[in-house]
Structure 1
């Protein structure tokens, strides 16, 4: 599951015409030609074009016009900044090639980083922004891009905000499951484990009934354990734990069947809010074909199969995920969808390469949330020996502080630490902008 799925439910406007520019298909070989990459440029909040915020588009099929939300507008006003947003290659309508294998090979993190660099160079020229200071902002996978791009091009990008930036790749991500259990709490997690045990049995004895009860008729039964893991995780990931845990914990009091409780939650809350009202289209193997629409699931699967992994495997005896969800489960999916040549990504080598670079890089603000299951692959205070000089790292504490919560529009009900952190980020950016 991609870390930023909910974004595609809050982005998009069919009545807006985006700008495009010519981007290299392959930055290591410009002779491969160019493609049209979409972007947005907004100058409502700047008077001198001396500062720019580049909000990084990620693994989403849609691209919203204007500032991402009120918080982005707040930052632009605060720093007298121009606002840019670049759509990620192979998502939305920015396609260098089709998604067939091996054409999809041009979808790499390095190419995405070089897209940002090349975009910045061209925008500076087009809008006459010589000597401007650029701040990268991204959340989740774009948070990774924010930090990595600052590390690779420190002279071009002055600072970076990496919100829930998943800078640590993992091909055996057991900690995701463990963090979900912590976020759910002991009672809720215990019910979830009972549901996992029961549904594993039902997959063997009566899979048709199980899939029908969850309104998943048509889903390959081998994919059900993966979907169940998503059902347990996405509410906590996006700060909506109570929607899931309320009904599950009620079964401990009423004696109601927890399988029926999670099935009702799936039909009424999970599918409409986290599966685009189409759980089969979101999780079935059919969504991963070359011609399937939207294209995002196939493109993101390639990124995980090829480089980043983030394979959310079961975590042993107390796992919330089925014992069937293993490294081999994910590798087999990669081989089925793309090629038998696919291999398990070498995430140790990946983390060594980028970790060494990040350790030398200044002016990055790493942010996470106390209930975000992606925190184990983000930098936190425990990773102080890995961050560079003049950097900050903070885990925001508060009720239902999930994935990328700090980038959401500020609300009067926001936890105190979230409000305080946003103010501290602004103060730090002001200080960084005063530096050469």
Structure 2
């Protein structure tokens, strides 16, 4: 994470006696944006696709040429999408990964620091993919290397501090980048980033669902989830009608019945991910609710539909491939549903994927990253939500100016203002210190 004050490209040129002052060094102290587009276009691998105004500053849409396989350049290239919100070459840079398709919304630490923001689309999501995808090339190291090349190139224009950030899978992506290229960034602020270090050990998730909220709320949710399977015969036609209205099919899962059971299994997780204890009074009484009341409430409170159209290559399929092969997943036991489930091996990411995207789990990458964060990570900050199931298995930061905060009574939408006043003040002061020149 710590870097030389001299960019690597300039250092190499100095050592060979052929150094030229990079364009950024010749910019006026004000960091004017008048020629930034030309300077971006002159960088190797960068193409300026478009420019728009955002808050009085230029927002550039760019592509960056990447090898399909960084260990074998002969396999060809693809264009990775990114955006750059340019304030000044002298301002800090917030390097944001959403973890999925391109997202360019302003991050809160960008506002906190009045920083530039670079937002990167994850490889093989959205349009950042080759025409023919070999899913074996979708790994945490490959994406970290994508980002390393982007940082290495754009640092020639932006010489101030760089802070990586992202939430959920985006936060995980920043952690992986940091693990493989610790000299790229000056700090990382990761929000609600799960750490499934040992995929077969899910006691953290099981403990979460035994303790989150109140006993009454937990019992009510479990009763609704169970009743949805008890009343399968009545609910399945409603589920089929919902899917048909949206044009959904379930070839990957194998049948509508399997898709329905998968959706019900995920229902309580999804409730806590996006809801809060204040929503508990809306939970219907499973014993007295009509079929329509039960289904309508469930559809609005966690019953997600895992269809081919949403989980294939053009949707969230790349995420489920990563979960199946490296990131891991929560293999919950659902003890209260054992006698009403039909498909005991259903609840795992390969179930929702087409055959060509499925893969075998590799246990070492996540264990390696987890241990590295604890023993060698520097200037890393992790923010989690107390009521967020994704926050149940956390990274454990080490002793090198790294920090962990848990926002009370908060779900997967954890932000700095949701910390306690004391924790927020401390976290923001740390971020400002990391960004200071």
TM-score by length of 2: 0.73
- RMSD of aligned Cα (Å): 3.3
Match of 1:337 among 355, 361, 368: 355
Which residue of structure 2 aligns with residue 354 of structure 1?
369
Give yes or no for contact 1:137–1:146 (8 Å, CA) kept in 2: yes
Give yes or no for contact 1:170–1:377 (8 Å, CA) kept in 2: no
Deviation of the 1:363 alpha carbon: 0.6
Q: Superposition pairs for residues 185-204 of structure 1, below 5 Å?
A: 185-203=214-232
Which residue of structure 2 aligns with residue 225 of structure 1?
261
Which residue of structure 2 aligns with residue 163 of structure 1?
191
Deviation of the 1:75 alpha carbon: 2.4
Deviation of the 1:307 alpha carbon: 1.2
Match of 1:68 among 88, 106, 124: 106
The yes-or-no answer on 1:391 pairing with 2:402 is yes
Give yes or no for contact 2:99–2:122 (8 Å, CA) kept in 1: yes
Distance 1:320 1:370, change over 3 A: farther
Distance, in Å, in 2 between the alignment partners of 1:320 and 1:242 is: 29
Distance, in Å, in 1 between the alignment partners of 2:343 and 2:277 is: 23
Give yes or no for contact 1:314–1:322 (8 Å, CA) kept in 2: no
Structure 2: gaps of 5 or more residues: 1-51, 251-255
Distance, in Å, in 1 between the alignment partners of 2:263 and 2:206 is: 13
Give yes or no for contact 2:192–2:390 (8 Å, CA) kept in 1: yes
CA deviation map 1:178-208 (0-9, x unaligned): 52453343222212222333333333x5564
Distance, in Å, in 1 between the alignment partners of 2:414 and 2:339 is: 25
Distance, in Å, in 1 between the alignment partners of 2:203 and 2:162 is: 36
CA deviation map 1:56-105 (0-9, x unaligned): 1212x4x344x425x2442232xxx3211111111122113445xxx222
Give yes or no for contact 2:94–2:110 (8 Å, CA) kept in 1: no
Distance, in Å, in 2 between the alignment partners of 1:321 and 1:300 is: 31
The yes-or-no answer on 1:251 pairing with 2:285 is yes
Structure label with greater radius of gyration: 2
Distance, in Å, in 2 between the alignment partners of 1:97 and 1:84 is: 25
SS of match in other structure, 2:70: coil
Give yes or no for contact 1:27–1:114 (8 Å, CA) kept in 2: yes
CA deviation map 1:199-245 (0-9, x unaligned): 33333x55644635x834666111212212333222321244544x2
Match of 2:412 among 397, 403, 413: 403
Distance 1:326 1:307, change over 3 A: farther
Q: Superposition pairs for residues 199-210 of structure 1, below 5 Å?
A: 199-203=228-232, 205=233, 208-209=236-237
Larger RCO: 1 or 2 (CA < 8 Å, sep 6+): 1
Deviation of the 1:370 alpha carbon: 0.6
Distance 1:320 1:145, change over 3 A: farther
Give yes or no for contact 2:265–2:347 (8 Å, CA) kept in 1: no
Distance, in Å, in 2 between the alignment partners of 1:422 and 1:209 is: 48
Which residue of structure 2 aligns with residue 148 of structure 1?
176
Which residue of structure 2 aligns with residue 120 of structure 1?
151
Give yes or no for contact 1:23–1:34 (8 Å, CA) kept in 2: yes
Structure 1: gaps of 5 or more residues: 1-12
- Give 1 or 2: higher helix fraction: 1
The yes-or-no answer on 1:90 pairing with 2:124 is yes
Distance 1:366 1:326, change over 3 A: farther
SS of match in other structure, 1:405: coil
Paired residues, number: 370
Give yes or no for contact 1:55–1:136 (8 Å, CA) kept in 2: yes
Q: Superposition pairs for residues 1-400 of structure 1, below 5 Å?
A: 18-44=61-87, 46=88, 48-49=90-91, 51-59=92-100, 61=101, 63-65=102-104, 67-69=105-107, 71-77=108-114, 81-99=115-133, 103-125=134-156, 127=157, 129-130=158-159, 132-172=160-200, 173=202, 175-176=204-205, 178-180=207-209, 182-203=211-232, 205=233, 208-209=236-237, 211=239, 215-216=242-243, 220-243=256-279, 245-248=280-283, 251=285, 256-257=288-289, 260-268=292-300, 279=305, 283-285=306-308, 287-290=310-313, 295-310=314-329, 312-318=330-336, 323=341, 329-330=347-348, 333=351, 337-338=355-356, 342-343=359-360, 345-347=361-363, 349-358=364-373, 359-379=375-395, 383=396, 387-397=398-408, 399=409
Which residue of structure 2 aligns with residue 3 of structure 1?
none
